[in-house]
Structure 1
Amino acid sequence: MIRSVGLSSNGHVDSAAPRRAGSEDAQAVADLLIRSRRAAVDAIPAAVHPDNEVREWIRAVVIPEREVWLMENAGSRPLAVLVLDDDWVDQLYVDPAFTGRGFGSRLIEFAKSRRPAGLQLWTFATNTGAQRFYLRHGFSVAEATDGSGNEEKAPDIRFVWTAPP
């Protein structure tokens, strides 16, 4: 599988494929997730876990127990990460310096190819950009909650995608 992603002359992602992350990628995956969440502070609640706990969770749980896929630049720096947990899109983050260039779209379409029976995910009710993104990619709203079931205690929305017949 191709390891790196080239950018076209307009700064968008070319046709390179995602690469499965391994244990050696745990630090870079955690750094990308932390950096992306911080940059989205106006759209999503602040993280409830300190950075060291996030890094340990990525190393000990996410990488060994879930499917983690990376889009990287030519220097092997992760630009976007997708975490699949069964039929859940558990995490989808794009480096804040590279949003709007097609990385998220490539990864969500890749997730659909990995889970053709369907996908589901949660997004915060305040994250209207993510909601537009998922609706644009064929997801629909399945339910909305008051947030009492998530760690941030923030209202959220569950989206589902089912392949067309």
Structure 2
Amino acid sequence: MVLLRKASPADTPAVGDILSEFIDTTPWMPRLHTVDEDRDFCAGLIAEGVVTIAEDAERITGFIALRGDEIDALYVTRSARRQGIGSQLLNHAKTCRACLELWTFQANASAIRFYRRAGFEEVLRTGGQDNEERLPDMRMRWMRDAQGQEARS
């Protein structure tokens, strides 16, 4: 069973390691920062109070960073993927907001499929000129309608 809770500073190493694992196991993703810098980035998100983690009895398995209506990060450790953890984190965010937006890289086909299944639609594509990695990316949006149902943007 996976439980969701607000991240605390003590969670920083595990959260940073999940981010680093994604970078290190994704062939198209450039490594621009050290593992310590990844942890520092995650520590900043946790200090802002915007990170919710998923954990099972043994470890932290994923996290989401939600600033307002913006999903800044959603990662699940490689060994826990395809077990519903990402969906659980995303559904938690949906209960908090009527609209959610995010950026994902166009090369991340599995994330795009995941978000589309969750009701997100593409609203913009860029060549990556505005992201640090300089990779083509995509803006996606999910909205709830006035009756509280998921709506297409």
What is the TM-score normalised by the length of structure 2?
0.90
Any idea what the Cα deviations from partners look like across 1:103-128, whole Å, max 9, x if unmatched? Answer: 0111111111122x201000001111
Corresponding residue for 2:24?
38
CA contact (8 A) 1:66 1:85 kept: no
Corresponding residue for 1:9?
none
Aligned residue type for 2:66: L
Q: Distance in 2 between matches of 1:127 and 1:32?
A: 16
User: Is 2:149 the partner of 1:163?
Assistant: no
Report how many residues are paired.
146
Corresponding residue for 1:123?
104
Picking from 99, 105, 116, the partner of 1:135 is 116
What is the TM-score normalised by the length of structure 1?
0.84
User: Is 2:2 the partner of 1:21?
Assistant: no
Q: Secondary structure at the match of 2:144?
A: coil
Picking from 72, 78, 85, the partner of 1:96 is 78
CA contact (8 A) 2:66 2:73 kept: yes
Corresponding residue for 1:109?
91
Give the root-mean-square deviation of aligned CA atoms: 1.3
Q: Distance in 1 between matches of 2:103 and 2:31?
A: 15
Q: Secondary structure at the match of 1:159?
A: strand
Is there any run of 5+ residues in structure 2 with no aligned partner, and where?
Answer: 147-153
Corresponding residue for 2:150?
none
Aligned residue type for 2:42: I
Q: CA deviation at 1:66?
A: 4.1
Q: Secondary structure at the match of 1:97?
A: helix
Identity across the alignment (%): 36
Q: Secondary structure at the match of 1:154?
A: coil
Cα gap change, 1:95 to 1:126, in 2 (>3 Å) = same
Picking from 63, 67, 74, the partner of 2:46 is 63
Q: Distance in 1 between matches of 2:13 and 2:5?
A: 16
Q: CA deviation at 1:50?
A: 1.4
Any idea what the Cα deviations from partners look like across 1:61-120, whole Å, max 9, x if unmatched? Answer: 211114111111112x111111111111111011101111100111111111122x2010
Corresponding residue for 1:72?
55
More strand by share: 2
CA contact (8 A) 1:66 1:84 kept: no
Which runs of 4 or more aligned residues in structure 1 lie more than 4 Å from their structure 2 counterparts after TM superposition?
none
